[in-house]
Structure 1
Amino acid sequence: MRRRSQIGHGIGMHDPWFFGYGSLVNRATHAHEDAHKATLTGWRRVWRHTALRPVAFLTAVEVDGGEIDGLIARVPGADWRDLDERERAYDRVQAALVTHSGPRKLAVEVYTIPHGKHGAPDRAHPVLLSYIDVVVQGFLNEYGIDGVARFFDTTDGWDAPIAFDRPDPIYSRHRVLSRKERALVDQHLDEVGARYVEPPKF
């Protein structure tokens, strides 16, 4: 049975929340059940890589006029340990302009790679198709087909090489997609002119 949201109720009223804009939008990748659709203003997504990871991932960067959909979720007891380990290539910062369906103001934080600590993806650090699959599945479940289109439109860096690892997924939180979900991913990647490469050998 789905747990009733505690936004605005006594339990967890002072707990912090995170704003997820990539794989964290897919609820199947985390155990934070008190989660809700939200929009972060003043930011865009971009594909980047860091020295801390062998492949590229999404980060969010501050941009005037930017706006991205995502998911906020409560962090019970302000215990960030699991999330901080998962997002260890990122800094966690305050997210000032978050719009959500809750009846009160929340303390929301967002993970972002600090400026100067990330570079553009390349053949040695490609984007994983299995990671894109997870992200798109999450946006489809939360926002529908139009939300998937907005995800692609509000993400920069689609000229990055994309490792075709769907047959043998490298991403540790990979999910099984339906035929329609895979077709939706492929359609949008075709539209942005995606360039596929062989998966890296680790």
Structure 2
Amino acid sequence: MADPYFFGYGSLVNLATHDFPNPRPARLKGWRRAWRHTDLRPVAFLTAIPDAESEIEGMIAHVPRNDWNALDEREWAYDRVSATQSITHPLTHEVEIAVYAVPNHKHSEPSEMHPLLLSYIDVVIQGYLRAFGPEGADRFFATTDGWDAPILNDRHEPRYQRHQKLTDLESNFVDTRLQSVSAKLIQAT
């Protein structure tokens, strides 16, 4: 029987946000990341969307005892999609890998009513910096759509439940890259 793994491409890349065992860098072919809003959540989040021409980096990790409950609960606004054949990874034993994605008909563009959270972006970029270095974090920006969405600056009072404290270098990296994509930050009230 194949070992169950998931492929994370956002906050799950940041190993400080979970304790799933055996995390490993991996690549998902045929998908791209996008910032999207779903009526199931008040703010916008990342989702993976099919794109035959794209490939994204992320992390795979083991789901012990095939117990998907904790991960399904964490990713409750997403569908779990089998992606084993689309993932390049370093494991040598048989695995079954799933990716979480919001179905296309259930998401829309972010808006001022449903913005991205800077505290969420911080967590994701911190994970990419630690797993893939600055070049990998830059590839994250390049392979993610929706940077024209409004971003709520909640860094000083984080609304994202798994927020992390960034170093000054990490914060500066995020801020510089957001400026380079002409991101629109709005202040929390």
State the TM-score, normalized to the length of structure 2: 0.97
- Please state how far the C-alpha of 1:106 moved relative to its aligned partner: 1.9
Task: Tell me the residue number matched to 2:19.
Answer: 31
Residue 166 (structure 2) aligned to one of 160, 177, 200: 177
Task: Tell me the residue number matched to 1:146.
Answer: 135
Equivalent-residue separation in structure 2 for 1:156 and 1:104 (angstroms): 34
Amino acid at match of 2:138: A
Equivalent-residue separation in structure 1 for 2:77 and 2:147 (angstroms): 21
Structure with greater helix percent: 2
- 1:72 is the counterpart of 2:36: no
2:30–2:51 contact (8 Å) kept in structure 1 = yes
Equivalent-residue separation in structure 2 for 1:104 and 1:199 (angstroms): 47
Task: Tell me the residue number matched to 1:108.
Answer: 97
Taking the TM superposition and a 5 Å limit, the aligned residue runs for 1:27-106 are: 27-95=15-83, 96-106=85-95
In the alignment of these two chains, the number of paired residues is: 188
- Please state how far the C-alpha of 1:163 moved relative to its aligned partner: 0.2
Taking the TM superposition and a 5 Å limit, the aligned residue runs for 1:3-42 are: 14-42=2-30
5+ long unaligned stretches in structure 2: none
Equivalent-residue separation in structure 2 for 1:14 and 1:63 (angstroms): 27
Residues 69-121 of structure 1 show CA distances to partners (whole Å, capped at 9, x for unaligned) of 00000001110111101111000010131001112342100000001100100
Equivalent-residue separation in structure 2 for 1:114 and 1:25 (angstroms): 21
Task: Tell me the residue number matched to 1:4.
Answer: none
Amino acid at match of 1:173: R
Structure with greater strand percent: 2
Residues 24-54 of structure 1 show CA distances to partners (whole Å, capped at 9, x for unaligned) of 0000101112110000000000000111100
Q: The residue matched to 1:31 in structure 2 has which SS? A: coil
Equivalent-residue separation in structure 2 for 1:15 and 1:198 (angstroms): 44
Equivalent-residue separation in structure 2 for 1:105 and 1:193 (angstroms): 43
Task: Tell me the residue number matched to 1:7.
Answer: none
2:6–2:61 contact (8 Å) kept in structure 1 = yes
- 1:132 is the counterpart of 2:121: yes
Give the greater-gyration-radius structure (CA): 1
2:13–2:128 contact (8 Å) kept in structure 1 = yes
Task: Tell me the residue number matched to 1:8.
Answer: none
- Give the CA RMSD over aligned residues: 1.0
Q: What is the identity percentage for the equivalent residue pairs of Structure 1 and Structure 2?
A: 54
State the TM-score, normalized to the length of structure 1: 0.91
Equivalent-residue separation in structure 1 for 2:104 and 2:139 (angstroms): 24
Equivalent-residue separation in structure 1 for 2:172 and 2:108 (angstroms): 30
- Please state how far the C-alpha of 1:140 moved relative to its aligned partner: 0.5
Equivalent-residue separation in structure 2 for 1:147 and 1:193 (angstroms): 20
2:36–2:110 contact (8 Å) kept in structure 1 = yes
